[in-house]
Amino acid sequence: MKSKVYFFRILVIGFFVQLISFNYAEGQRLTYEGFLKGEKVGELVAEREVNDENVKIIIQTKLDAQLIVKIKLELYSESTYINQSLFQASSTAKVNGQLKSDVQTVKYGNEYQVEVDGKKRTLAHSELLGADLFYFEEPKGIKHAYALSSGEMIEITETANQTYYFKRNGKKEFHKYSEGVLDELEINHKLFTITFKLKKEL
């Protein structure tokens, strides 16, 4: 019971941290176009607000693609960082309007409480870097990150100058950077490959 009360208290604290800290924030917005077999099927929008040592990131993805059947995919994640460490995060995935995944992450002392589709567990890490940070900056020298969408750790491998692979459970994502931000993202699935390319501002 105490852990549930503390979990709720952390969420309330996090809400007020966001409410107060981001009134005067510096913002950044990146828009990526998603392609499947050369055809545009949607967009990914990454937004970051920075105020001193506090960072808030929102990632929204909407895809409408014809695979074996027509699929409408909506992904949403929101995270808060304090002093360069993940404080709390929420991530959901919907397929054709139906909720398929719900992952909540909250820092709890020197560890993290993770709830994946109602199942709770603890991560024995005093600090985490979420993978959503690496839309806005290159993971130079970083070997691991936290996947907000699954509650799992990601292995990061640099393969060439400004090029990286993010690996999790045998799955691999290709990340290419330009001028310090993510320029291209390729996600490989056994049934398809989706490529996101940064939309250049005119």
Per residue of the chain (202 residues), what is the pLDDT tens digit? 544 544 454 444 455 445 444 444 578 999 999 999 899 999 999 999 999 889 999 999 999 988 778 889 999 999 999 999 999 999 999 999 999 999 999 999 999 999 999 999 999 999 999 999 999 999 999 999 999 999 999 999 999 889 999 998 878 899 999 999 999 999 987 778 899 999 987 6
**In whole angstroms, what is the distance from residue 176 CA to residue 161 CA?**
9
Q: Are 49 and 59 in contact (CB under 8 A)?
A: no
Count Cβ atoms within 10 A of the Cβ of residue 118 and give its class: 0-12 exposed, 13-18 middle, 19 or more buried. exposed
Closest-CA residue to 30 (of 20, 16, 44, 42)? 44
Token pair for 109: 């002392």
First to last CA, the chain: 54
Predicted TM-score (pTM) of the model is: 0.85
Q: What is the pLDDT of residue 66?
A: 80
**In whole angstroms, what is the distance from residue 106 CA to residue 170 CA?**
26
